[in-house]
Structures are given as structure tokens and as C-alpha cells.
Structure 1
Amino acid sequence: CLRYAVLIGDALQQILASSIRPAPLLTATPVRTLVDEQACIKASFLPSNHPVTVCARMRSDEGDLWQSFAHYNTNSRGTFDLNSDLSVGGSYSGCEPMGLFWSMQPAPGERDGLRLRKKCVESPYTVHISLLEGHVSPNQEPVKELAAVTAERWYMAPGVKRQEIRQNGLVGTLFIPPGPGPFPAMLDMWGMGGGLPEYRSSLFASRGYASFCLAYVGHKDLPGPPNTINVRDSYFQAAFQFLQDHSHIAADKVGIVGLSYGCYLTFHTATLAGVKPACLIGINGPVGSSREILRVNSLLSLKHILCILQILMKPLVLMQLEEITCPLMYIVGEDDLSVLSIENADLIEETLRAAGKSHLFTRLSYPGAGHLIEPPYSPMSRATFIFFSCSVMTVWGGHPAPHAAAQEDAWKKMLEFMELNLRR
């Protein structure tokens, strides 16, 4: 009887404890952040040593569903914290405070070959983060949701001004930070995917740098067919001059940044007459012109196509790197399957050394990172479709965890490089 009384007492105690325990709570602090900032995600008021799943879901601007999930075990206090605790499975493993964001992938059933790119920087990504019972997949049915929170991820800080530029033949978008200025500035160019991606420029402006995102291929307001580059050197000279002449920009504090083919244009523009940038940043780009790749329709990676073109065509036209007179940062993803980034970095370094300009060169190299090194906590896409007159499946390379680490580190060092060369 005594033993039964003890058992009944324990059961009553557990019932009483569960009845007074607050409902499970999931928090994301701060709820509203820029996309290059960390959020602290925690859960509390759960049973001790209990399996749970955290799931993140959001819609892209095109309406596609992206998601990630991770398995955690609560501690003896019934809590867990993504800043200090380990994921034991799911979209990523280990201690990854921002893993829910950088590990996102299209949900099952979505279109193939997607790449997450913000189309409208004046609105946030709204991320629904939920806490689920047990170690489960978010696609299982039924799944018990214990708690949830919504986080906003912004590309524009309050007060940043966005202005579409369509003047003197230029096609682009200018972002100006809040305040009177004059501001240091960046001319921002993307790759052969074309169009006018604004999200890096809007983030630069959110960090105090005016930024002019320039279209040069694949935009309806540019001349000629959309799948070829139909602008000349004078176009890029005019874009740089536009920044120098702007009343809110410091004329002697203008840099240039480019990814992929935009990297080639970054270095080439720096050698043009009348263009004197304060610094250059190139990300996984060639140092020779290869516009013919714009018309390739192949499942091969662009890296392999480039090798074939180098064999079958006349040699690529190499720019005069030795003419560069400002600090230059070149960022390498060592698993880049689109461009010969390691070899290009070697060539830049050798050329500047021969010209007595080694002191101008900074090289960042990241094992496991692919071609598309973007702002931090952006999901990695190893292969995506790009569209010209036809669709092309392009292999970018990269592995999620090291690629995410590269994006975080490279962004920090890019901003430090800009601070050193554009503000002092």
C-alpha cells in the first residue's frame, strides 16, 4: 500500500507540475533584422531532455516555398538555444546559430533549379519559425506545432533611399544611406545572369555606403538583344562618373565590386581612362573576356565550358592588370565549378608582383565554397537555371556549411576592406 501511495504521489506531482508549467515558448531576438545580422533563437518551458524540431519556412518573391529544419534535445531545464546547442540532425548539424537561414532549400514539389534572390528589397523576407514535437521532418503529417514566431529579414535599413536611374543611357538603381553625406560609394556589378539584382547594393547602403547597382546585360531597358552585352567601355566610365558627380557622394571615395563576369568588368573598368577607383573587390571572376558563354545551353558547368572555349577559340583577351593602382581584394571559392577562380587569383597575384604592386593585393580563399559567394546567411544553390534566349542549367559548386562560413567571413572582411580604403 505504501508503495502504491508513493507511485500515486509521484503521478500527482507530475500532473501538477505539467498543469502549472507555462506553454512552450519560442523566441527570435530581434524579430526584425537586416539579413546580414544574426538572430538569437531560443525555446523554453519544455520537458527536460526532450526531442524537438525547429522548422523555418518562407516564400520567395516569386512565391516558391523554402524551408529548413533541425533536431534538438532540450537540457535539464527544458530549454535550448541555437547559439550554444547542437543540432543532431535535419538540414544541418552542430552548433550553427544561423543554420535555419543558410540551410534553406526549396520545399519538396517546388520547381527545379531555383536560386533565392530578393527581387523587391523594400519588403522583407517573412520567416515562420515553428517548434515541433519530436525529431520529425516538417513534411510529415500530422506534425504537432508546440510554438511559433515570425521573423523579418530586411535588405534595407530604415532611412535608406532607393532611386531608379535611367539617364544618359545608364540603367541601374542607386541606394543612398540616411544622413547628409557625402558618403563613400561602390559601383556594384553582378554576373552573366543579367538583370538588376539590388540586394547587395541595398545592404551596402544599410552599412553607410552609397551604392549604384548597374545593369549591363539581360535587362529590358538596355539596347539590343537581352542575351548579349551591347554596351561599350564608355557605359562603365559613365557609371563611375555618375557616382563621382553625385552631390551626396565623396568623389575620391568610390570603389567597384563585381561577382563572376561582373568581377571581370570591375577590373577592366579600373583600367579605363578617367576611372580612378579607391578600391576594387572581385568575387570568383575571370580576368579575360568570354562573352560567348552567354549563348551556351549545356548541362556542363561553366568552368568546363570555359576550358573548352580556351582550347577551341582564340585566347581570351586579358586586361591590363598591371595598370591597376588601387587596393584590390579577390575572393576565391575553392569549389567554384563555374570559373577558374584559383587560377585567376594566381594570375592576378603574379601580375601585380611583377609590376611591383604586391602590396595592393588581398586574397581570400575558402575551401568548400562555391561560385556564388553572396551576403551572409543566404542559402546556397549548387546548380540553378539561368535564362537568356534559352535556359541553361549552371553548376556553381559549393557545400552548404563551408559555403555559409565563407559568406559570413567574406562579408565581414569586405566591409573592413571598404572601411579601410573608403573612409580613411
Structure 2
Amino acid sequence: MLMATMTMTVKIMNWTYNMISEYCEEMSSQIRLRLLPRARCFFDEPVQVKVTRLRSRQVVTMRARSTDERGVVFSSSATYRADDRGEVDLNKHPSLGGSYVGVEPMGLLWSLKAEALHQYFQKGKSLKPHVVTISAHDEEEGRVLAEATNERLLLGDGVTRLPVNEGNINGVLFTPPGAGPFPAVLDLNTLLSEKRAALLANKGFAVLALCVFNVKVTNTKEIHLDHFQEGIDFLQRQPKVGGQGVGVLSRSKASDIALSLSAFVPAVKACVWINGCNANTVVPLHYKNHQIFSSARFDPSSVIHTESGAYILKFAFANPLAEDNKESLIPIEQAKAQLLFVASEDDMCWNSKAYMDEMVERLKHHEKNNFESVCYPRAGHMLEPPYGPYCRSCPAGTYPYQALWGGEPSGHVAAEVHLWKKIQEFFRVHLR
């Protein structure tokens, strides 16, 4: 009886051992998708996407999916072949096809695209992270092998967000944690967006985000520079703001407002102009109760329609140097601020490279050395903080067209990475 009991006990122990061994073997062979160094990061930080425990040389489809603030779904996919160890590492392995090809570590994110044409990934609010679901799929069966979620934060711990409605100011103030003092930046957007401002606050800047158009562009007959000067004054009154002046960050239509502030408001000490014009555009500009600039003429007959349904707008603006258009030209030669000009050679919205070249030559002619310029050959108009979805075309905002922005995707993304670091360095140097 005792022997039979012992034999039964041994059998049970062996069965249990085998079951545990099989379970451990199954767990050790389970496919894993990892986001390194962590799955939760800032919007402007890269992540390493890595899949392990695949079969040697197994072909998989990597997919990404995200939804913008309007509920529009954006997705991307790329095909990869695992190495001999059964690993796919987007930092070193090339995509064989799909939304992009070649080695593109952040390709799944910047190639996110909506099914409908002319869609911009709307992420203007800072409170909620940009959430991207990344998954690995069996190439033949399509089933999900592994999945992970990347939370990309705009607002860091301790950064305060304060909506501001004071006088003519209608914007959002972002302040870093700590006592300060912090350098101050006025972030001008054509339409209100908190993205750049929140990300700069994470880097140690006090930033007020404002937009050029608080109402519909078609309802705007004139713009007052005084309103933006109020924003500068507001920043300088903040208890955590230090330094002798304020920086201005701008792109597109907002860039000519930034140039005008640099020329007329002494408190502006540093200005970043990105893919804009050297003249005032869209509507006349007023300052101290009178008009200081007319608007550069826009010729609809020079707009070029493309097969995609988007329009090339860059040739529709009249030459600001022409005799009948000079009243729109901004006198940047009288600016005391440090100026950073940034132009994309493949900008299809503005002739920004030509405008930048003219301003550089004019400043040299006046023996000025308070400027530097950067040019990106393969980039388009929409230079933004890096790793967001690349946008080829969408509504122009200032004109009733689906605008073609230009740019070659991977070259455009590389320009965004470089420029974002450049902007921070520029403000740190000149706003100390």
C-alpha cells in the first residue's frame, strides 16, 4: 500500500513538472513587442520598436494606429523580415514595403495617414497624450502576434497650463516647474495650437501660445500688431520669467507677424521665422491706430491645381519688391532682435527660400549681422516638432484651398528633428 502511494506521488510530481516545463517553454517562446527605453515618453522623443522571439527570418507586418482630436483614424504599416535570431528592430532593419521602405526607426509614426485625402492629424490640445497602438502581425494569416501602446505626452509633470483671456489676449500660458527665472517665448500660430508651446515648456521655457486668427479668416479685415505686443508685455509680467526680453516662434502667416514684432517692438530679442513671407500677407496690418502695411497681393489665377486635388499656392503671391507692392514689405533691417530664418526648398505653399534669400541680402546690404539662416532641401512647408504624422496636403486655413505642402517624407522628418533642436539652442543662447 505504501509502495503504491509512493508510486502515485512520483507520477503526480512528474506530471506537474512536465506541465510547468511546457508552460515555461510556451511562455519563453511567446513573441514580445517592446518600446524602448519606455512606452510612455514625450511627443518629441523617439522610441525603439523591437519584436523578439519570432522564427528565424520570419516575415511580419508592423502596423500603427492612432485617432486625432476629431475622431479621424490614421494608420500605417510596413513589412519586415526577422534576422537569424528571430528579431525585428526598426532602428536597424529595413522595411521591405508598405507605408515606407528602408531603415526608418520612427517610420510607423510619421507615416500615419488617414484613408481620406487632404487630412491633417489634429493634435492641438496638450492635456491628453498622442496615443499610438503598435502591433506585429503574421504576414500570411494576418493575426496579431504582439501589441504595445505608445503614450506620447505633450505636457510634462509639473508644467502648468493656464488659459489666458485678458484684454486682446486669447491664448494659453505654459510654465515649467520650479521657481525660475525662465526665458520667455511667444509662440505664434496661424490657428491656435498648444503643441509647440507645451513641448518647449518641458524644456524650461515659459511660453504663451497665441494665434493670428481668433475668428474665421474670411471675417478678418485687418490685424493689429498691438494685440501681439500685449502678449509680450503679459509674458514679461510673469513672476517666473527672467531675462531682458522675449523670443518669438512662428511659421507660415504667423511669420510675417513675428517679423513685424521684431522690427517695431524692442522687447523682442530673438525671432524664429519658418517658411513664411518677407512681407505682410492676407490682410493689412495696423499698429498704434494706423495701417503700417498693406497686404501682398494674391493672384488666384497663379494657383496650380494638381492631380491629387490639392493646390500649389507658392506662385500666387506678388513679388513684394515690385514697385506696386512695396507697401507690404517688412523693414527687418531696423530689427534689433537676433533672427533665425528657416526655409524649406520644397515648400509648395510659400516661396519661402526666395523670401529668405531676399531678407539675407537686404540685411547684408545694411551691414547687419544679427541673423542666421537654415535651408532644408527635401522638406516641405509644415515643419513641426518631430515624430508627428507627416502631412502632404490639407486645407490651407488662410485661403479656400486644399494646400499641397510639399516635402519628401523621410527628408522632411529629418529636417524636423534637426530644426527642433536648433530652435531650443537659439532661444537658450539669445534669451539668457
Contact 1:41 1:82 survives alignment (8 Å)? yes
Q: TM-score, normalised by structure 2?
A: 0.84
Q: Determine the C-alpha separation between the residues in 2 that align with 1:402 and 1:416.
A: 21
SS of equivalent to 1:247: coil
CA shift, 1:315, in A, is 4.1
Listed one character per residue, the Cα deviations across residues 128-160 of structure 1 (whole Å, up to 9, x for unaligned) are 1000112x7xxxxx6211010011011111111
Aligned to 1:5: none
- Residues 272 and 312 of structure 1, relative CA distance in 2, 3 Å threshold: closer
Alpha-carbon distance between aligned partners in 2 of 1:378 and 1:294, rounded to the nearest angstrom: 31
- CA drift of 1:386 comes to 3.8
Asked if the contact 1:296/1:392 (under 8 Å) is kept, the reply is no
Specify the alignment match of 1:395 in structure 2: 404
Equivalent-residue separation in structure 2 for 1:188 and 1:35 (angstroms): 18
Q: Within the alignment, does 1:270 sit opposite 2:262 as a pair?
A: yes
Q: Name the CA distance, whole Å, in 1 between partners of 2:394 and 2:267.
A: 36
**Structure 1 residue 392 displacement after superposition:** 2.3
Gaps of 5+ in 2: 1-21, 284-296, 306-310
Determine whether 1:410 maps to 2:419: yes
Q: 1:127: which partner in 2?
A: 132
Q: Distance in 1 between matches of 2:49 and 2:404?
A: 33
- Secondary structure, aligned partner of 1:305: coil
Q: Is the 8 A contact 1:187 1:212 kept in 2?
A: yes
The 3 A distance-change label for structure 1 pair 253 and 315 is: closer
1:122–1:155 contact (8 Å) kept in structure 2: yes
1:153 maps to: 152
Q: Which of 118, 131, 141 is the aligned partner of 1:113? A: 118
Q: 1:257-302 CA deviation, whole Å, 9 max, x = no partner?
A: 11011111111111114x3322110100101012158997975422
Where does residue 182 of structure 1 map in the other structure? 181
| Equivalent-residue separation in structure 1 for 2:431 and 2:242 (angstroms) | 9
Identity percentage of aligned residues: 31
* Amino acid in the other structure paired with 1:283: I
Which residue of 2 is the match for residue 10 of structure 1?
none
Q: 1:215 offset after TM fit, Å?
A: 2.2
| C-alpha contact (below 8 Å) 1:245/1:251 kept by paired residues | no
Find the counterpart in structure 2 of residue 8 from structure 1: none
Aligned to 1:219: 215
1:67 alignment partner in structure 2:
75
Contact 1:216-1:229 within 8 A present in 2 as well: no
Aligned residue among 77, 81, 91 for 2:85: 77
Aligned length, in residue pairs: 390
> Is the Cα–Cα contact under 8 Å of residues 279 and 422 in structure 1 kept in the other structure?
yes
8 A Cα contact 2:44 2:386, kept in partner: yes
The structure whose Rg is larger is: 2
Amino acid aligned to 1:153? R
Tell me the distance in 1 between the aligned counterparts of 2:321 and 2:314.
11
Residues 16 and 34 (structure 1), Cα distance of their counterparts in 2 relative to 1, 3 Å cut: closer
How far 1:311 moved relative to its partner? 7.9
Displaced runs of 4+ in structure 1, greater than 2 A?
Answer: 15-21, 292-302, 307-316
SS of 1:303 mapped into structure 2: coil
Following the alignment from structure 1 to structure 2, what is the Cα–Cα distance between the partners of residues 99 and 328? 32
The alpha carbon displacement at 1:408 in A equals 0.7
- Please give the secondary structure, in 2, of the residue aligned with 1:119: coil
Task: Identify the residue that residue 11 of structure 1 maps to in structure 2.
Answer: none
Please give the alpha-carbon distance, in whole angstroms, between the structure 2 residues aligned to 1:367 and 1:343. Answer: 13
**Residue matched to 2:65:** 57
Name the CA shift for 1:233/1:387 in 2 (closer, same or farther; >3 Å). Answer: closer
Aligned to 2:367: 356
Structure 1 pair 325/387, CA: closer, same or farther in 2 (3 Å)?
closer
Q: Work out the CA distance in 2 between the residues paired with 1:310 and 1:304.
A: 14
Residue number in structure 2 paired with 1:102 = 110
Corresponding residue to 2:201 among 205, 212, 223: 205
Measure, in 2, the Cα distance between the counterparts of 1:207 and 1:342.
29
Give the direction of change, closer, same or farther, for the CA distance of 1:48–1:270 in structure 2 (3 Å limit): same
Report the TM-score, using the length of structure 1 for normalisation.
0.86
Within 5 Å, which residues of 2 pair with 1:180-329? 180-191=179-190, 194=191, 196-219=192-215, 227-228=219-220, 230-273=222-265, 275-291=266-282, 300-307=311-318, 314-315=325-326, 317-329=328-340
The 3-state SS of whatever aligns with 1:376 is coil
Match of 1:122, SS?
A: coil
1:20–1:197 distance in 2 versus 1, CA, 3 Å: closer
> Deviation per CA, 1:111-135, whole angstroms, max 9, x where unpaired?
432111313210011111000112x
**Residue of structure 1 equivalent to 2:34:** 27
* Range 408-417 or range 290-299, more displaced: 290-299
Shift of 1:227: 3.7
Q: Is the 8 A contact 1:45 1:78 kept in 2?
A: yes
Q: Does 1:336 align with 2:332?
A: no
Does structure 2 conserve the Cα–Cα contact (< 8 Å) formed by 1:217 and 1:230? no
Amino acid paired to 2:389: P
Q: What's the CA shift for 1:363?
A: 1.1
Contact 1:336-1:397 within 8 A present in 2 as well: yes
The reply on whether 1:173 has 2:184 as its aligned counterpart is: no
Give deviations 1:341-396, integer Å, cap 9, x for gaps.
111111111111112213x22111111111110001122212112457x8421121
Q: Specify the alignment match of 1:371 in structure 2.
A: 381
Q: CA deviation at 1:312?
A: 11
- Using a 3 Å threshold, how does the CA distance of structure 1 residues 277 and 310 change in structure 2: closer, same or farther? closer
Query: Which residue type is aligned with residue 213 of structure 1?
Result: A
Counterpart amino acid of residue 322 in structure 1: E
CA separation of 1:412/1:357 partners in 2, compared to 1, >3 Å: closer, same or farther? same
Q: Distance in 1 between matches of 2:325 and 2:222?
A: 21
